[in-house]
Amino acid sequence: MKTMTHNRCAENTDASSRLEQAYKSEKPRLMARVRAAGRSLEEAEDLVHDVYAETLAHLPLVAGIRNLPAWINTLFTRRLIDAWRHEKVRKASGETTVAEETLREIIKGAGVDPQEAYVRDCLVEALNDALRVLPAAQRRVVEAQVFGGWTFREIAEATGESIDTLTARKRYALRNLSRALRHWIDR
């Protein structure tokens, strides 16, 4: 057992060093290919790093690959084609890219603070996550009141449950939601 673990460690170390060597030797060539395809330096670096991160995730398989640079090149070519197809679909759907400076000018002109929007979006996401983990009965009462605009009497008539039961469920739900949001704020 100890020998097998030692052998796996040795194989992973060998695979890791082979991958590092392939990265150093192939990165300039891969970057040049992406740049020649009209991508920005950032996009090129992202694409190259994605390929190597994916390869690193499959490190045990690397030991069985004879020509690692060729394998990485093939994986890279597939990623490049996927990026090209994605761009083609975006253009066909009418989606356009806007320069970052233009976005900043629009945001500044509109008087919107992107950080406020980000915090608000994060808060909404945290609230939705907290709602999803509520017990179903509590969630139904909160959703009916908040999103449906129903009164306790209307919910009681629709479900056949007492108003006291529904108010208790809402009270427990609000306590759970406030606890979850307090945890989100403290993070």
The structure's pTM equals 0.42
Nearest to 46 by CA among 59, 33, 31, 26: 31
The Cα 130–Cα 48 span in angstroms is: 37
pLDDT tens digits for the chain (187 residues)? 455 444 555 566 777 888 788 888 888 888 888 777 777 777 778 888 888 888 878 777 877 888 888 888 888 888 888 877 777 766 666 554 545 566 566 666 656 566 777 777 777 788 788 888 888 898 898 888 888 888 889 999 999 999 889 888 888 888 887 887 777 776 6
Nearest to 173 by CA among 146, 155, 149: 146
